[in-house]
Every structure is written in C-alpha cells, then in structure tokens.
C-alpha cells in the first residue's frame, strides 16, 4: 500500500526531515492511534535537541499563598469563593518558613501561585516579593500565572506592562504557564467565568518576554475541548514563541475530574497523555524543553514520557495542593525521580530555571538533605 501525503508515516517523515508540522498534519496525528510511531519520532526530535547523555529535574515547592478566588472554574477543586469559611491567606511567617525548608532541601526556586483575590493591591504583592528576596536572595521566584497578573492589572487599574515592571523590580524572576488550560475562547467560556481569555493570557506573556523575562507554558487537556482545539492551543503558543522566544518549556497534563464540577467527564488515560505530549514535541519546534507530568500520571508513565519527547522530569514538588485537591496524589522522592531517569540510561542532573545544571557539589548536598528528610518522615509514628 502506498502511503498518502497525510498518512502518519509520511507526516512523521517530513517532520524528521526538518519540516514544520502543519495544523492539519498535527490533527491527523492526534486522531490516529499510532502511538509507538509518533512517540519514536518525538524521541528522535528530543534527542536532536538534547544530545547530552543526561536528563534533568529541579527542586522547588508550589506555595499557594491564597485559595480565595473571584473566578469560578468548573475544573478546579482548589479555589474558594471570597465568602467561604475555607478561604485562607498564608501568614507571611509561614510562607517564609516554607521557602526556608525548600532551600534546606536543595531547592533553588519556589513556584508561587494563588487565587484571584478581590482586595489585595499591587503593593501587597510587591511587599511579598521583597520579603522573599531579602531573606532568600538565591531563590528564583517563579510566580503569578497570567490569570493572576491580568487580575492585578484590573484590580489596580494599571497597564499590564506597569504591573510586570513593578513586580520584576520587586523580585519576580519568571512566570509559570498556569491558567492556560486550552487557549481557545469557546473552551474557556464553557469551563470558567471571571477569568482571563486567550488573547489577554498570551499578551501577559508577550509583555513579560518583551521586558526580558522568561516563562513556561502549559496545556491542560481532556475535558471539553476537541482535538482540533488542542492544536489551536499549540498553534497560538508556537506563534507567540516565534515572536518573542521567551518560553523555556512546555508542560501538558490531563484534566483531573474528581471533586470538580466536571466530575462526569471520564478521566483521560495514559495513552492519550503520551500521544498528546509526543505531538506537542513535534509541533513546538521552537520551544527547547518538554517536561514530563509525573504529578498527574504517576511514576511509571512520568518515566515513560522521557521516551515520548520529554527531556525533563519536572520538579520534586515538595508541596502541591491544586492537583491534590482533585484527588490525584502522586508523590515521588528525589531518589525516585533520579532513579527513573537513570533506569533509562541517562545521568540525572539537577537544573535551575534557565535549564542550566547546578554544580555537582550543590546537587549532592540536595541528595543528602532529601535522603535525611525522607528517613525522618519514615521514622514518624503513624497517626491512629
């Protein structure tokens, strides 16, 4: 049988020859069940971009400074309305203690995100950043997703450029790609109210990149979007990266439906996760790094993702609250993350936000500190 120009084999052959993947061909790949072929091609592209015999991870902590949020997201089990008795704002001392614990375990970054608080002015966030920076100048603050930053702009009646300039001056180091979900307004309108739409999400990142900042970008899939809308999301990301070159990494994960308003939607399985990640690696030819999502997929699929286009195992994630609220509770030790990489024949190396390797001395200190902490946890008595 002669392959047509839109057969999976023909599409992958063109991509491996260096041609940019079209939207039509990317959709054809997502519609197919040729997981092994697509994964093999994604792995080849990954190895071309990362020929070194190591794969990376980082050590950080997801600090959610508040769960109070004016937006209503059907997919979120974490947020609480401003009138809820379960709403909180972390006391500053507690937040700084969380940063200190992260540093003691070898972390060089905190991922700091929260809800869309209706009352905090920009001064409050600037003071928060300065407090962290003055106490922990060596720690990168990877903070405030585009929905938060857009919200700051609206609450304070300031242009987004002014907001970002002030936060950068106060100590914001990079921006996480959270809150992207699917960057298609039809999807966003169906699953959320009171939250930034696609153009404004992308513009936050555009302005940040114009200011010299870097960020990551994400995609949460497996809810109400179509396969074509997944490709539209990737297309908008690729276009912005062509324009600014500010994205360091792409991370996709499957929607976790438990305890959300969309709990009736069947969970998306590992087959679809690996296929979507692999197609993302093939499509996003201008984004250097792809992170595995072991937090939602677990150890084995998170490890397998290293053969489907990922070159990074993501974070140790000392603390994670948002996904956990939806019932997903995958936790790995540092040794488990390192072993997952080494079992694939790679050297496991710790990196920073710029994907630069930390010194082997600092890496070993982190390994020792985490092993000591794990032994301490194992020695704790089990609550009756």
pLDDT at 384: 42
Q: Which residue in 317, 319, 322, 288 sits closest to 302, CA to CA?
A: 317
Q: Residue 319 — very low, low, confident or very high, per pLDDT cuts 50/70/90? A: low
Number of structural domains the chain divides into:
1
In a domain, 15, yes or no: no
Q: What is the pLDDT of residues 12-67, one digit of tens each?
A: 999 999 999 999 999 999 999 999 999 999 999 999 999 999 999 999 999 999 88
Task: Please state, in angstroms and rounded to a whole number, the distance separating the CA atoms of residues 229 and 227.
Answer: 5
CA-based diameter of the chain, in Å? 68
In a domain, 147, yes or no: yes
Q: Are 318 and 307 in contact (CB under 8 A)?
A: no
Q: What is the pLDDT of residues 236-283, one digit of tens each?
A: 999 999 999 999 999 999 988 777 777 888 888 999 999 999 999 999
Of the chain, the percentage scoring pLDDT greater than 70 comes to: 92
Q: Is the pLDDT of residue 205 over 70?
A: yes
In a domain, 123, yes or no: yes
CA 358 to chain centre: 21
Buried b (16+ CB within 10 A) or exposed e, 276-305: bbbbbbbbbbebbbbbbbbbbbbeebbbbb
Q: Average pLDDT, whole number, for the chain?
A: 91
**Is residue 90 classed as helix, strand or coil in its secondary structure?**
coil
In a domain, 10, yes or no: no
The number of C-alpha atoms within 13 Å of 90 and in the hemisphere containing its C-beta is 20
pLDDT at 262: 77
Task: Please state, in angstroms and rounded to a whole number, the distance separating the CA atoms of residues 129 and 165.
Answer: 13
In a domain, 211, yes or no: yes
In a domain, 169, yes or no: yes
In a domain, 354, yes or no: yes
In a domain, 1, yes or no: no
Classify the phi-psi angles of 309: left when phi > 0, otherwise alpha if psi is within -120 to 50, otherwise beta.
left
Query: Which distant-in-sequence residues (6+ apart) come within 8 Å of 36 by Cβ?
Result: none
Give the CATH number of the domain where residue 291 resides. 3.20.20.70
| Tokens (6 digits) for 348 | 């496991």
Q: What is the pLDDT of residues 100-142, one digit of tens each?
A: 999 999 999 999 998 777 888 999 999 999 999 999 999 999 9
**Domain limits at 308?**
24-375
More confident residue, 68 or 369: 369
CA 286 to chain centre: 17
């Amino acid at each position: 049988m002669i392959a047509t120009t839109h057969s999976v084999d023909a599409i992958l052959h063109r991509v491996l020859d260096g041609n940019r993947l079209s939207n039509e061909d990317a959709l054809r790949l997502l519609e197919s069940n040729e997981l092994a072929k697509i994964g093999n091609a994604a792995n080849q592209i990954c190895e071309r971009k990362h020929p070194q015999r190591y794969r990376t991870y980082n050590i950080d902590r997801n600090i959610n400074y508040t769960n109070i949020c004016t937006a209503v997201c059907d997919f979120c089990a974490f947020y609480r309305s401003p009138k809820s008795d379960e709403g909180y704002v972390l006391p500053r001392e507690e937040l700084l203690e969380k940063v200190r614990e992260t540093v003691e375990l070898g972390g060089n970054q905190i991922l700091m995100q929260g809800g869309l608080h209706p009352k905090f002015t920009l001064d409050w966030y600037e003071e928060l950043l300065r407090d962290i920076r003055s106490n922990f100048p060596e720690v990168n603050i990877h903070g405030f997703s585009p929905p938060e930053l857009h919200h700051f702009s609206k609450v304070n009646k300031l242009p987004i450029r002014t907001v970002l300039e002030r936060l950068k001056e106060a100590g914001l180091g990079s921006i996480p790609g959270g809150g992207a979900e699917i960057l298609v307004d039809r999807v966003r309108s169906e699953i959320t109210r009171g939250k930034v739409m696609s153009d404004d999400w992308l513009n936050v990142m555009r302005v940040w990149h114009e200011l010299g900042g870097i960020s990551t970008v994400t995609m949460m899939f497996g809810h109400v979007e179509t396969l074509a809308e997944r490709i539209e999301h990737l297309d908008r990301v690729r276009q912005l990266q062509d324009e600014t070159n500010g994205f360091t990494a792409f991370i996709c994960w499957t929607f976790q439906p438990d305890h959300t308003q969309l709990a009736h939607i069947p969970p998306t399985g590992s087959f679809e996760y690996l296929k979507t990640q692999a197609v993302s690696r093939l499509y996003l030819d201008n984004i250097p790094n792809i992170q595995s999502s072991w937090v939602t997929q677990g150890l084995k699929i998170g490890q397998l993702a290293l053969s489907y286009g990922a070159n990074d195992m993501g974070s140790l994630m000392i603390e994670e609250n948002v996904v956990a609220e939806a019932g997903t509770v995958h936790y790995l030790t540092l040794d488990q993350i390192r072993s997952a990489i080494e079992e694939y024949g790679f050297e496991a190396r710790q990196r920073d936000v710029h994907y630069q390797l930390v010194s082997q001395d600092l890496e070993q200190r982190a390994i020792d500190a985490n092993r000591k902490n794990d032994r301490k946890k194992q020695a704790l008595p089990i609550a009756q």
